[in-house]
Amino acid sequence: MNLRIDYSPVTLREKCLEKLRNAIITGYFPSGARLVERTLCEQLGVSRTVVREVIRYLQAEGLVEVLPQKGPIVAVLNWDVASQVYRIRLVLEQSAVADCVRNLTDETAAQIQQALETLRTSYGTPDIAPVLEASSTLYETIFRAGNNHIAWEIVQRLNGRISRLRAMTLTHVDREKTGFERIKAICDAICVQRDEALARQRVAEHIGEAEAIAHALLEQEQK
């Protein structure tokens, strides 16, 4: 993975934050890995001031922990943390899809289908980052279509942890259906069947399968 930043109109801090966040989410920096300022400065091609600022942002997102006398490390993602994230997701996403069905218009249905198509296309790339970005955009479209703006703000605060778990589970071989097939089933329940109960059920199936895979992987890591 090339972490060096090409300068652009986007601020240096934002570019650095995106690079380092993706490196953690995709496992380039694994759980518990030390984040040494000098090394990061060399890899990213930025100053220590920028690195320190970015680390503070990632700490607020739950992706980085700062340990006494050890400094910043990649936050350990264990089953206790993951299970809480999945429980919160289940509640918020089931509510969001039900509200989305109730408030659905032809315009918002078209927006969801467009976001779903972007997600489908992203699965054809070797990089997981476009999949995670497209997935987040689709969920944001669903939440906002159901007027769940505050709930989406809560999801955004958890997005770092959610993305780490998605990177682990979306394309895992133990899936009965691919991550895309599960998400498409949710979108079909919203936009085609327009069935609240079915949409909630599809969310439960999707999250339940991902949760089981994450549980097995995280428990194996702790052995």
Query: pLDDT digit of tens for each residue in the chain (223 aa)?
Result: 677 666 554 588 889 999 999 999 988 999 999 999 999 999 999 999 999 999 999 999 999 999 998 899 999 999 999 999 999 999 999 999 999 999 999 999 999 999 999 999 998 788 888 999 999 999 999 999 999 999 999 999 999 999 999 988 877 777 778 889 999 999 999 999 999 999 999 999 999 999 999 999 998 876 6
Residue 7, helix vs strand vs coil: coil
pTM for this predicted structure:
0.86
Report the distance separating Cα 160 and Cα 77, nearest Å.
11
Angle at 34 between CA 68 and CA 216, to 5 degrees: 105
**What is the rounded CA–CA span in Å between residue 176 and residue 167?**
17
Strands (E), the chain: 64-67, 71-74
